[in-house]
Amino acid sequence: MAHLLITGGAGFIGSHTALVLLQGGHSLVVLDNFSNSSPEALRRVAELAGLDHDSARLQVIAGDIRSPADLDRALGAAAPGGERVAGVIHFAGLKAVGESVQQPLRYWDVNVNGSRLLVEAMQRHGCRTLVFSSTSTVYGEPQRFPISETCATDPRHPYAQTKLAVEWMLQALETSETGWCIGRLRYFNPVGAHPSGRIGENPLGVPNNLFPFITQVASGQRPLLRIFGDDWPTPDGTGIRDYLHVMDLAEAHGLALDWLMQHQRSLPVLNLGTGRGLSVLEVVQAFETATGRTIPRELVGRRHGDVARLEGCPRLAASTLGWRASRNLEQMCRDGWTWQNANPRGYGG
């Protein structure tokens, strides 16, 4: 069992990963500035993990990855048994594509500068094991599917550019200095929630993404789903994505950390997806079947910047980590709906 730092651990993927790691026996420090999350998520993670109130196995630090002092505080926070932080999972960052086009400098500051300051702080503290959240959007608009890790990258907006820049920075770091054990994980489309409905995705304002939009339509918070185009070069004309259950993604992080600690070297860049793409219409139909709710919808034009299809090859993650997404679309829909239904206003409710 290890003592780990999770940056951005109150967020959507971070909170589910924190739960998986606590249930696996690890102790955690979470550093989050709560700019896109709530401390309530971590209270519920502790409750689901069966921790006592004030348990030292989950230490929460409200702070910013761009603050060396906050990073020193987080990396210096020892485990209940006195162990030092042995590894970091770095989720903290900004992730909205459209916003990144409007505010590129902010994205470079938080995502790139924040990551640089984090690894510098890790150097100060002698911690060189790191898992980094990258994204399938670094591939741009590939023509061959499923997308393997050797596919050329073509990041088309500041969000993807900042993620690829950090991948490169980490690669240069491990070349320049021995001892680094780094995992760069390119996620496809994580959706759903913990089956308890206690933690889930908590988008602030109008959701950008398909899944939270559907669940908010199902709960009556939004009148209808707008489908962005039915003239894509796909079988039913709507966009195809590789959706994976957030609990599968969370489990992949536990396996990646175990691998790094056991092998004491870096992982190859890994795609984390299912290998099976689904269209917007397939997702809507599956959601209606799984939940019995009707999703009113209208067809509108394509969304600027969208691509027809993204579908990741999961083979390298399977052969390296022994990881495969095991939860199906029905579970993604059911668990996402359980969360939305029980928490119509997210953690603010």
State in angstroms the smallest separation of the CB of 49 from ligand WQD.
Answer: 26
Name the burial class of residue 206, with classes exposed (0-12), middle (13-18) and buried (19+) by CB atoms within 10 angstroms of its CB: exposed
Among 93, 155, 192, 277, the residue binding ligand NAD under the rule CB under 6 A is 93
Among 49, 91, 227, 336, the residue binding ligand NAD under the rule CB under 6 A is 91
**Can residue 65 be called a binding residue for ligand NAD (CB under 6 A)?**
yes
User: Strand ranges (DSSP E) for 107-206?
Assistant: 129-135, 181-187, 189-191
Catalytic residue set: 159
State in angstroms the smallest separation of the CB of 335 from ligand NAD.
Answer: 15
State in angstroms the smallest separation of the CB of 306 from ligand WQD.
Answer: 5
Instruction: Please give the residue whose beta carbon sits closest to ligand WQD in the complex.
Output: 239
Give me the residues that bind ligand WQD (CB under 6 A), please: 95, 97, 135, 137, 159, 189, 208-210, 213, 225-228, 239, 241, 280, 303, 306, 310
Q: Is the peptide bond before 296 cis (omega within 30 degrees of 0)?
A: no
Interaction residues for ligand NAD, span 176-195 (CB under 6 A): 187, 189-190
- From the list ligand WQD, ligand NAD, none, which binds 10 (C-beta under 5 to 8 Å, kind-based)? ligand NAD
State in angstroms the smallest separation of the CB of 178 from ligand NAD.
Answer: 27
Q: Would you tell me the crossing angle of helices 210-218 and 329-342 to the nearest 10 degrees? A: 50
Count other C-beta atoms under 10 Å from residue 204's C-beta: 11
Instruction: For ligand WQD, give the closer residue by CB, 6 or 227.
Output: 227
Among 45, 46, 48, 110, the residue binding ligand NAD under the rule CB under 6 A is 110
Which of 39, 147, 37, 44 lies closest to 92 in space, CA to CA?
A: 37
SS (H, E, C) 212-247: HHHHHHHCCCCCCEEEECCCCCCCCCCCEECEEEHH
Are the CB atoms for 293 and 287 separated by under 8 Å?
yes
Are the CB atoms for 188 and 312 separated by under 8 Å?
yes
Q: Would you tell me the crossing angle of helices 280-291 and 329-342 to the nearest 10 degrees? A: 60
**Can residue 274 be called a binding residue for ligand NAD (CB under 6 A)?**
no
**Can residue 17 be called a binding residue for ligand NAD (CB under 6 A)?**
no
Both structure tokens of 152: 């050329």
- From the list ligand NAD, ligand WQD, none, which binds 156 (C-beta under 5 to 8 Å, kind-based)? none
- From the list ligand WQD, ligand NAD, none, which binds 114 (C-beta under 5 to 8 Å, kind-based)? ligand NAD
- In the complex, the residues that contact ligand NAD under the rule CB under 6 A are 7-8, 10-14, 31-37, 64-66, 91-93, 95, 110, 114, 133, 135, 187, 189-190
